[in-house]
Amino acid sequence: MRASSADEPYGADLLLSALIANGTDTESPAWRDLALLMDTAARADRSVAGLWPPPAGASAAWSELAVRLAELAARDPATRHALMEWTHRHPPTPRTGTANTVAGHAVLHGPTVQARDIHGGIHFHPHTGPPAPRLPVPRQLPPAPARFIDRHADRRILDALHAGRPTHAPQVLVISGLAGAGKTALATHWLHTHADSFPDGQLYADLTEPSAEGDRGPVSPAVVLEAFLVALGATEVPAGLAPRSALWRSMTADLRLAVLLDSAFTAAQVRPLLLGTPGGLTVVTSRNNLTGLQVDGAFVHRLDGLPTESAVALLAVGGGTRVTHEPDAAREVVRLCGRLPLTVALASAQLAIHPHRSVSALADSLSQGPGAVDTLHADGEAVMRTALDLSYDVLPGESGALYRRMGLLPTDRHDLSMLSSLAGEEAGHPDDRAELAADLAVHGLLEANLLEETGPGTYRFHDLVRPHARRLGEELEDPGRRERTLRGFVDWCLATTAIAEAVLTPSHRLPGHDLPAGTAQATPLDGPEAALAWLDTHRNGLMGAVRHAARAGWHTACWTLTDRMWPLFLRLRPTEMWVEAHRLGLEAARRSGSRPGEGRMLTSGAIGLRNAGRYPEASDWYRQALESATEDRDPRQQAQALSGLGHIALLTHRIDEARDHFTEALRLRESVGYRRGAALTRRRLGETALAGGDPAAAAEQLRRAAAELDALGETYEATRVLALLGHVLDRLGDQEGGEERLRTALTRFRTGDARSEHWEARCLEWLGRAAESRGDRTESVRRYEAALALFRRLNPTDAERVAGRLRQA
C-alpha cells in the first residue's frame, strides 16, 4: 500500500468519487475541463472516446470511465498530466462522518482496507502469475572514453539543459562543433553518467556511411529506424520512412529512453528519428548547428577546443616531463592543434613514440607543414592533416603498410582475421605468424591514435583518419597491390559469410560454389549468436564488397557474396540493402552466365522487393525466375517462384490466383520430395482457403502441414501452423479445440525456439475473438488489451485493427 504524492493523479476509486462529485453537471467548469481531459486521453487511446459522455445516472458507466482513465494515465504521460491537473482542480468532496484521512492530495494505492472495527484476519492475494518474458534492454552507447580530460563546464551546461527540460515534450540536445572537437566523446561520457535516468535503454546510430569515393555521406533515416525498431523488439518493420517513423513514435511512447545520433548532416536527417515521449532524450552530434532542429525546440551547445591548460595536460600523457620543461612550446603545440582533442592526442602520440624528441621540435614541425595558422583558424582541417601525416611518418613499417592498405577497403569495420592476411602478406610471414604480425601492426596504429577498437578483434578509423589512409593507399600502393588488397577483402567476405550461412541457414547453401582451399582466412564464428553479430557488425563492409565486386567486374564473386548474405537479409531485414545487393547480384549473375545464380538473385531479391511493398516489381522478378526455371526444367525453382507469386496474390486479395499458384507449387514440391517446402505450401493454401471463406478446407490443409512440420522438427513453422489451425477451428465452431491449440501456441511463442512477439500478439487477438464469440466480454477485453500492447510496438496497422475490436467488444 503506497500513498501517492500531490504530483500523481488519483487512483480509480477516488477518481470515481471526483467524477461523481464534480463531473455530472454539464454546465459546470469541471464538466468543461473534463471534456478537455477526454480529448487528451482519446489521442492516446481512441477507445476511451466511446466512454464519453456517460449516460445520466449510469453509475456503471462512470465506474468504467474512472478505471480506464486511471489505467491510461499509468502508461501515457500526457493523460497522466491532464488527469493530475483535473483532479487537483476538482478534488472529491469529503464525506461526513467517521473517516480515515490522508493529508493533502495524497492518495492510497494498492490493496486498502478502511474500517472502524475488524474481527478476524485480513488476507490479500496478489497475482502470482509468471512475469512475461522481455527483450534485453538495449545498451548501444559506445564505451566511455578511457582518457576524458576536463569538459567540466560543458558537462555542467548539459546538466542544466537536461534539468530544465519541458515536462510535456521530448528533449533534444545538439552538440555541434568542428571535426575533432570531441563531440562524440563528450556525448558518450555524459550519457553514461546519466544512464540511471533512462531505464528503458540507450540507442546509438552513426548517421554517416562510407561511399565508394572514400568520403562519407548521410545514412538514410529509414535505415536507422529499421535498426532501432529491431533493437526494441519489432519483428516486422514497415516499408518507407513515414510508417517506420510512426511505428518508432508508437513503440517509444511510454519509454524513458536515451538516443545518441552521431555525426548528423542536416535537421531533415534527424527529424524522423526524434522520440515522441516526454521521458525521452535525443542527443545529436554534428559539425553543423542544425538550425532547423532549433525551430523544433532543440537546445544547441557548441563545443569548442579544450581550455589551454587541459589541452597541455592531454599533451603530457605522451610527452611526460618534456611538456613541463617546455611550457611555452607546449602551449604553441596545442595552439597549432586548435586545442582539439583529436589533434592534441595525435601530437601527444608523436612525443610518446619518440621519447627523445623535444616539444619545440614538434612545434616547429607543425608550424612548417601544409596548412598554416590562418587555415587552422578557418576550419581546423589543415592542422589535422599535418598531424595525421606526422603520425603516419613515424609508424613502424608494418603498421604504415597496414594503414595504407586498410584505407583502400570499402568498409567501416576492420576484423583482425582479415587484417592478418594483409599484414602477413606485407611482411612475408607464413600463415601461422600472420595474426601475430597483424596484432603488432594494429597495436602501432592504436598507440598512434589512428585506429579505434570497437570490440574484441574489431576496429574502425576515425572519420577524419579514414580519408587520410585512403589517400596514402591510392598514392603509395602500386595498382597490382591495390587490386590484390581489394580481392583479398572480397574473398575474406565470401569465406566468412559462407560460415555464417552454414550456421544460421544451412538449407540455403548453394552447392558447387565454394572458394578454392586456402583462398582466404575466414573469421571463426562460434555458434548462431556470434554469426549473427558478425553479420550485423560488418553489414556495411559486406555491402561495400558487393559494390566493389560489381565495379571491378568480379561477377561470380558479386552474386555469390549476395547469395551468402541471405541470413543477414532474413534475420536483420535491411530492406534497402537487400534490394540494392540483389540488383547488383542479378546483373552480375547474368554477366557471368550463371543460371543458378540468376534464379537465386531473382527469387531472393523478389522477397526483398515484396517486403519493401514493391509488389509489381516483385511479381516481375518472380515471373522472370519462373520463366528461367521452366526453361532449365528445374521444378524446385519453379515452385519457389510460383509460391512467391501466390503470396503476392494473397497479399493483394486475389484469392483464386493465389490458390492456383500454391496448388501448382505444391505439386512440384511433392514431385521432387521436398517435404518442408510442401508443408509450407499447405500452410499457404490453408491461409488462402480461410481468406476465401472456406474454413473447413483451411483446417484440412493446416492439419496436414502441422503433422509434416512436426515430423521434420520444424518447431517455429509448426507452431505458426498450430496457431492458425486453432483460429480456424474456433471459426468452425470447435471453440474448445481451437482455444486449446491457441493457448499451446501462445506458450511456445513466448519462450524457446519459437519465440515471436508478433505471433504471440496474433494468438492473443485470436483468443480475444474466441472469447468474444462465446460471450465472455471480460476475457475478450483482457486478451485484446494484451495484444494491443504488443502490436503498438510492432505494427501500427495491426494495432489499429485490434483497437477497433476493443471498441466494439
At 106 the pLDDT is: 46
The pLDDT of 302-314, averaged and rounded, is 88
Share of the chain above pLDDT 90, in %: 38
Residue 272, C-alpha cell as written in the block = 524522423
DSSP assigned state of 385: H
- For residue 121, pLDDT over 60 is answered with no
Q: Which residues contact 469 (CB under 8 A, 6 or more apart)?
A: 403, 404, 406, 407, 450, 461
At 453 the pLDDT is: 84
Q: Which residues contact 60 (CB under 8 A, 6 or more apart)?
A: none
At 768 the pLDDT is: 95
The pLDDT of 570-574, averaged and rounded, is 79
What is the number of other CB atoms lying within 10 angstroms of the CB of residue 361?
Answer: 15
At 640 the pLDDT is: 93
Block residue for cell numbers 579514414: 466
Q: For the chain, what is the mean pLDDT?
A: 83
At 783 the pLDDT is: 95
pLDDT tens-digit map of 642-660: 999 999 999 999 999 999 9
pLDDT band at 548 (very low <50, low <70, confident <90, very high): very high
CA dihedral (705, 655, 632, 616) positive or negative: negative
Q: Half-sphere exposure of 310 toward its Cβ, with a 13 Å CA cutoff?
A: 15
Helix (H) or strand (E) holding 637: helix 635-651
| CA–CA dist 807, 788 (Å, integer) | 12
CA 446 → CA 227, 411, 462, distances in Å? 29, 18, 11
Classified as helix, coil or strand, 454 is strand
| CA–CA dist 640, 482 (Å, integer) | 41
At 142 the pLDDT is: 86
At 126 the pLDDT is: 52
The pLDDT of 238-249, averaged and rounded, is 88
Most confident of 197-201, 204-208, 460-464, 560-564: 560-564
Nearest by Cα to 587 from 595, 572, 598: 598
At 451 the pLDDT is: 83
At 67 the pLDDT is: 83
Block residue for cell numbers 525551430: 295
| CA–CA dist 762, 150 (Å, integer) | 53
- Beta bridge partners of residue 283, listed in sequence order: 173, 260
- For residue 94, pLDDT over 90 is answered with no
- Beta bridge partners of residue 204, listed in sequence order: 260
At 487 the pLDDT is: 93
Does pTM surpass 0.85? Answer: no
| CA–CA dist 494, 564 (Å, integer) | 7
At 123 the pLDDT is: 53
pLDDT tens-digit map of 680-725: 999 999 999 999 999 999 999 999 999 999 998 888 889 989 999 9
Share of the chain above pLDDT 70, in %: 86
CA 764 to chain centre: 25
Contact between 242 and 266 under an 8 Å Cβ cutoff? The reply is no
Block residue for cell numbers 528503458: 200
Burial per residue of 619-646, b for 16 or more beta-carbon CB atoms within 10 angstroms, e otherwise: bebbebbbebbeeeebbebbbbbbbbbb
3-state class percentages of the chain: helix first, strand second, coil last, to nearest 5: 65, 5, 30
At 375 the pLDDT is: 32
The pLDDT of 307-318, averaged and rounded, is 89
At 115 the pLDDT is: 55
Block residue for cell numbers 581489394: 486
At 165 the pLDDT is: 75
